[in-house]
Chains A and B, each alone.
Chain A
Amino acid sequence: VNAPQGSALRMTYREACKQALRQALLADPHVFLMGEDIGRYGGCYAVTKGLLEEFGEERIRDTPLSESAFVGAGIGAAMAGMRPIVEIMTVNFSLVALDQIVNNAATIPYMSGGQFAIPLVIRMATGGGRRVAAQHSHSFEGWYAHIPGLRILTPATIEDARFMLIGALQDPNPVLIFEHVMLYNMEGDLRPEVNEVDIGLAKVRRAGRDVSLVTYGGSLFKTLQAADMLATEGIDAEVVDLRVLRPLDTKAIFESVSRTRRCVIVDEGWRSGSISAEIGMRIAEEIFFELDAPLRRVCGREVPMPYAPHLEDACLPQAEIIAATARELVRPS
């Protein structure tokens, strides 16, 4: 998996995640991986396949089925000077470890008066679309963005999947990386000249003048698709990829919305008390008078994710509804 120099390299999002892990393991002997079925089985989404053979059991550690125990162990290891990367199969299972993440990882630096840092990285799969129903399909990254002390990353592109981990490992604080399940098989090109990305800034993925579509993670590509649909009608939509949900890059959001004067926030999470609510409120607080239209949102329907494909699809933001919502702002009927 050595990257050849000079030419664009085509790979899947899954492979980009794996190469990031491999690079981290090669670069620093303090880095090790822990999680359920990450070793012999190769990870429930096959991200860590082959790493056990290459790096051995000391550094690729299969854990018992206890998220609270192995996240806790990761916190302890990080406090003691290691650089653990913990994998949790899906965000729904991370709730079992919420006590460790919220009450320990996010608070120990503060409660110890700065005597301890927790340079822990936790990766987990998030999001819906795989027909695995109400206990494997939710999007809780917005929830985690509520917690002071955590950094929340949502890589959507191949480049971010490949390079955000390096930045996360350099952060002295706990960093949670959310990988959307529908992105693992997505293919894309890595530009040879890029070998790092920042983990603090939002990025404009498509420039436009008429409306800002603010989104992240798995919804990015549906939103870009919506922007393409709008372009055929003469509506020029800008697409902002948040990339980081905490701390929010509000400067980038304000800059985009101040130009387009209209904003639709697209978030697969539930609407009530969501990251989309936070973004909307910050816009209202800071740049309300720049707006030419009310703020709008396209969010996940507020139900436990249904299993049947037609119902699951109806509960997730889709390009058509994103386009319709933006169209209504630009050209009110």
Chain B
Amino acid sequence: MTQKVNLDHAHMRHLLKAMIRIRRFEAKCVELYQARKILGFLYLYDGEEAVSVGVMEALSPDAIVATYREHGQALAFLECQTYRFSAHSMFDPQLYRSKEEVEAWRKKGPIVRFQTCLGASRLIKPEEVSAMETEVDAEIAAAVAFAEAGVLEAVSEVERFVTMEEVPA
């Protein structure tokens, strides 16, 4: 990535906000997992947000359909050397690395670096970042409220989509 990339203000804000959204969404997931509202496995992505945001930006308007074995990874033809702050799963006691190592990498995380870089170049003001965080938190709170207000799917619906009636439009 030696080529100079020119980013306008709106685009930079968009990228930063997308990364902040992922980070804060995942923090909320941890909270809900600990409250046993999310069950089973939970795999986090923190520290690697730049990959998904960057890849989706490049692919747009294409989409990626992912399942659990793609977590923390991007496409096969890209090698993205990343560092994930969280454990592999909520069951992982992280016997393979020290807390100091994780802390050292946190300082080099994609959000803090991008934010610092934009700030140093005066491309973004601190109050813009706080506004972004507030907006993202509101989005997430709305999503949680929506989920909490949802009704459980009826058991009679459990066979829906085992086979499809037609190819979706």
A41 contact from B95, B152, B155, B158, Cβ within 8 A = B95
Would A307 and B96 be within 8 Å (CB), given that A135-B67, A314-B155, A315-B158 are in contact?
no
Determine the chain A residues whose CB is within 8 A of the CB of B92 once the complex forms.
Answer: 41
Q: Is the CB of A307 within 8 A of B155?
A: no
Q: Which of B65-121 contact A (CB under 8 A)?
A: 67-68, 91-92, 95-96
The reply on A189 being an interface residue by CB < 8 A is no
Quick one: given A41-B95, A302-B162, are A132 and B155 in contact (CB under 8 Å)?
no
**Chain A minimum-CB-distance residue to B94:** A41
CB pair B68–A135 under 8 Å, yes or no, is yes
Q: How near does chain A come to B69, taking the closest CB pair, in angstroms?
A: 8
What is the 8 Å Cβ interface bit string for chain A, positions 104-145, against chain B (1 contact, 0 not)? 000000000000000000000000001111011000000000
Q: How far is the CB of B84 from chain A (nearest CB, A)?
A: 16
* Across-interface contacts of B61 in A (CB, < 8 A): none
Contacts of B96 in A (CB 8 A): 40
Q: Are A306 and B158 within 8 A (Cβ)? A: yes
Bound complex: CA A311 to CA B67 (Å): 20
Q: Could you tell me if B40 and A311 are in contact, using CB atoms closer than 8 angstroms?
A: no
**Chain A residues whose C-beta falls within 8 Å of the C-beta of B158 in the assembled complex:** 301, 303, 306, 311, 314-315
Report Cα–Cα, A326/B92, bound state, in Å: 43
B122 → chain A, closest Cβ, in Å? 45
CB distance from B2 to the nearest CB of A (A): 33
Are B40 and A130 in contact (CB-based, < 8 A)? Answer: yes
Contact with A along B155-169 (1 / 0, CB 8 A): 100110010000000
Residue among B40, B41, B95, B153 having the largest count of chain A Cβ atoms under 10 Å: B40
Q: Which residue of B lies closest to A65 (CB)?
A: B69
* Whole-angstrom CA separation of A73 from B152 in the bound complex: 46
B95: A residues at CB distance < 8 A: 40-41
B162 close to A311 (CB less than 8 A): no
B residues 38-61 near A (Cβ < 8 Å) are: 39-41
Q: Which residues of A contact B159 (CB under 8 A)?
A: 301-303
The residue that A309 contacts in the complex, of B39, B41, B68, B91, with Cβ under 8 A, is: B39
A310: Cβ under 8 A from any B Cβ: yes
- Residues of A close to B153: CB separation below 8 A: 308, 311
A304 at the interface (CB under 8 A from B): yes
Least CB distance from B132 to A in Å reads 32
Query: Do A310 and B155 touch (CB < 8 A)?
Result: yes
Distance in angstroms between the alpha carbons of A130 and B95 in the assembled complex? 24
CA distance A68 to B96 in the complex (A): 25
Shortest B66–chain A CB gap in Å is 12
Q: Is the CB of B40 within 8 A of A307?
A: yes
Q: Which residues of B contact A309 (CB under 8 A)?
A: 39
Query: What mask results when residues 119 to 153 of chain B are scored 1 for a CB within 8 Å of chain A, else 0?
Result: 00000000000000000000000000000000011
User: In the assembled complex, which residues on chain A have CB atoms less than 8 Å from the CB atom of B40?
Assistant: 130-133, 136, 307
Chain B hits for A311, CB < 8 A? 153, 155, 158
Q: Which residues does B use to contact A, with CB under 8 Å? A: 39-41, 67-68, 91-92, 95-96, 152-153, 155, 158-159, 162
Rank and list the top 8 A-B pairs by shortest CB-CB distance, nearest first. A131-B39, A131-B40, A132-B40, A314-B155, A303-B162, A311-B158, A303-B159, A40-B95
| 16 further contact pairs, Cβ within 8 A, besides A40-B96, A302-B162, A309-B39 | A41-B92, A44-B91, A131-B39, A131-B40, A132-B40, A136-B40, A301-B158, A301-B159, A302-B159, A304-B162, A307-B39, A308-B152, A311-B153, A311-B155, A314-B155, A314-B158
What are 16 A-B contacts defined by CB distance under 8 Å? A40-B95, A41-B92, A130-B40, A135-B67, A136-B40, A136-B41, A301-B158, A302-B159, A303-B159, A304-B162, A308-B152, A309-B39, A310-B152, A310-B155, A311-B155, A314-B155
